[in-house]
Chains A and B, each alone.
Chain A
Amino acid sequence: MSATNARGMGGFHDTRHISPSALSARSYGRALLAAAREDQRIVCLGADLSASTQTDLFRDELPTRFFMMGIQEANMVGAAGGMARAGDIPFCHSFCVFITRRVYDQIAMQVAYPKLPVKLVGFLPGLATELGVSHQAIDDVALMRSLPNMVVVEPCGPEQIGSAFAAALSHDGPVYLRLMTSSARPDDGKPAVPFTIGKAEIARRGQDVAIIAAGIMVQQALDAADALMERGISATVVNMASLKPLDETVVKELAQTHKLIVTAENHSRIGGLGSAVAETIALRGLRVGFGMIGVDDVFSEGAKLPYLLEKHRLTGKHIANTTEALWRDRVKP
């Protein structure tokens, strides 16, 4: 690196205070606003989806740092790269599919390669939209995971939004936040779940099988664990909100203490959480049974989420059935 590179490839270095109200927020929009009140460098970019991305709060309170770019995702990501190079911390918002696949090259060149503190925030993960294949992001984790310098985070729900947001803001580099709107799960009463980049959270401890899930699939995995318990199979459930970097240590521990690992994701089985865990198992030579649950290599269709989860065999019931079958076929013949 040349002597003229004082700016560095990593943007900036500082110690940043993150307000308690951001950390404890149960919605992304409130977390972003709380942090932005205290950090003048945070700017908010939108692509005609303020309400859908919970950024209307920011728009109304901090209008001089809110940039409505219009229906121009490519330009939004490029501009964010320019803003970050000028010292800002841009948060870019759209639906998951449009903040990843639609702008992949812009992200690669203007965000990931220069390792800028641009945060890409997507809503409608996986099948979670009635709007059909145009709006369903079943390949976004695969795409973002394969970009050098990119961190990929999918919190399990409102109880992990604040900590995931704080980690994304603190990280000196690009982050993709894959979010579900909290209106789908208004459970403010649940205890907050911590989040650290590169660390998984154990949601439930069992002995026989371990189900590793992310996002909305954590709850499905917990439901599956209840069903499995009734069938005499004790399941650990792991919330792998840090999709990249993956918590390889926890995968190794699970492989040593369980006979079967099953992944469950609201995403194609190609390139996402399941692939990441499979790579870890294969490359570390871990001896453990393994199965992957996710969307088959097909496009889906527009319908309500419960219907689609059922159709693609992603509900707790299906996870339990698949896991039980694997357990009987491979572990307890």
Chain B
Amino acid sequence: MTRHVPPINDLENIARSLRRSVVSMIDSVRVGYLLQGLGAADIFTALFFSELNLKTEDPNWADRDRFILSTAHNTALLYATFAHRGYFPISRLETYTRDGSELEVNASERMGSIIEATCGSLGQGLSVAVGMALSLRRRGSEARVYVVLGDGELQEGQVWEAALSASSFGLDNLCMIVDRNYLQAEGHSDRVVKMDPIPEKFESFGWKATEVDGNNLTELLDALRSARATKGKPFLINALTKTGAGVPFLEGQLSHVALLAPEDAQRALAHLEGQVK
């Protein structure tokens, strides 16, 4: 299947729009994962605005590509992505994390099948992706399964069960992207559990693996293309992302639950609107 790849400039503009939404949403409700949302915006842009085969008018289309956010908490970015992709009006983002809203901090299937699985209990998303990939393959569907894991999440043992399973079944319709930002609740992930080298670990588990600059759309799109071309093995993209990417004074900061003072939120938005160089 040939996929329409929009010009990089367009994708970069989309990523900037997503980042603006992330900053605004979190500034408005004072809840959410700001630095991680900014850091992963390019991954989500590459997936939802180029790679994934979706029908926004028919979210339950049987042959849609599946997307699972295994950590489930990077939701300011996830919901902004849905809204900008056209699943629901951007105005709905104003309900983010408000009591009664379906736009919960951790995404759940209350929202319907655009949330393909309720994750957030870390380590489960890859197993669900394995099951979906097995079923889709059995049915002869061309749909592919994409799952984004946090790098800290790799500390969960179930991930490695699922990794073995995916390669044992030869699931070449499965692509995992690790959001390698070195940030977990406890701080720098290297000071919690050493995980490098990630691609080599997965290769030894029978995967094909690559590492990219996770804030470089061209590299991300190239890696996704390689994933699609790979036969007989699941594919890992270890995406080296920078927390706070796109806002210079936030880049590389390591705080799991950073919130900005109102004036800093305005500064961040100004950067993202190109008013500050």
Question: Footprint of B on A, CB under 8 Å?
Answer: 1-7, 9, 43, 64-65, 67, 69-70, 72, 74-75, 77-88, 90, 105-106, 108-110, 113-114
Chain A residues within 8 Å of B113, by CB: 4-7, 85
A75 touching B112, Cβ below 8 Å: no
Chain B residues within 8 Å of A84, by CB: 131
Bitwise, B158-202 to A at CB < 8 A (1) or not (0) is 100110110011000000000000000000000000000000000
Chain A residues within 8 Å of B88, by CB: 2, 4
B116 contacts the other chain (CB 8 A)? yes
B158 touching A74, Cβ below 8 Å: yes
Chain B residues within 8 Å of A43, by CB: 135, 138
A-B CB contact pairs (8 Å), 22 listed: A2-B102, A4-B111, A5-B112, A7-B60, A9-B110, A67-B134, A72-B164, A74-B158, A74-B161, A75-B127, A75-B130, A75-B158, A78-B158, A79-B131, A81-B117, A83-B135, A85-B113, A87-B135, A90-B131, A105-B121, A109-B124, A114-B109
Number of interface residues of B (CB under 8 A): 42
Picked from B59, B116, B162, B168, the residue with its CB within 8 Å of the CB of A85 is B116
Chain A residues within 8 Å of B157, by CB: 74
A9 touching B127, Cβ below 8 Å: no
Bound complex: CA A83 to CA B112 (Å): 17
Chain B residues within 8 Å of A110, by CB: 117-118, 124, 127-128
Bound complex: CA A315 to CA B162 (Å): 43
Distance (Å) between the CB of A111 and the closest chain B CB? 10
Bound complex: CA A82 to CA B128 (Å): 4
Please name the 8 residue pairs, one residue from A and one from B, whose CB atoms are nearest each other, closest first. Answer: A82-B131, A78-B127, A5-B112, A79-B131, A86-B135, A4-B112, A75-B161, A82-B132
A65 touching B131, Cβ below 8 Å: no
B136 contacts the other chain (CB 8 A)? yes
Bound complex: CA A80 to CA B111 (Å): 21
Chain B CB count within 10 A is highest, among A1, A74, A80, A86, for A86
Chain A residues within 8 Å of B161, by CB: 72, 74-75
Picked from A5, A67, A70, A74, the residue with its CB within 8 Å of the CB of B127 is A74
Among residues of B, the one whose C-beta sits closest to the C-beta of A108 is: B121
B60 touching A79, Cβ below 8 Å: no
Bitwise, B89-109 to A at CB < 8 A (1) or not (0) is 000000000000010000011
Q: When A69-B165, A75-B162, A79-B128 are in contact, do A85 and B117 touch as well, CB less than 8 Å? A: yes
Chain B residues within 8 Å of A78, by CB: 124, 126-128, 130-131, 158, 162
B114 contacts the other chain (CB 8 A)? yes
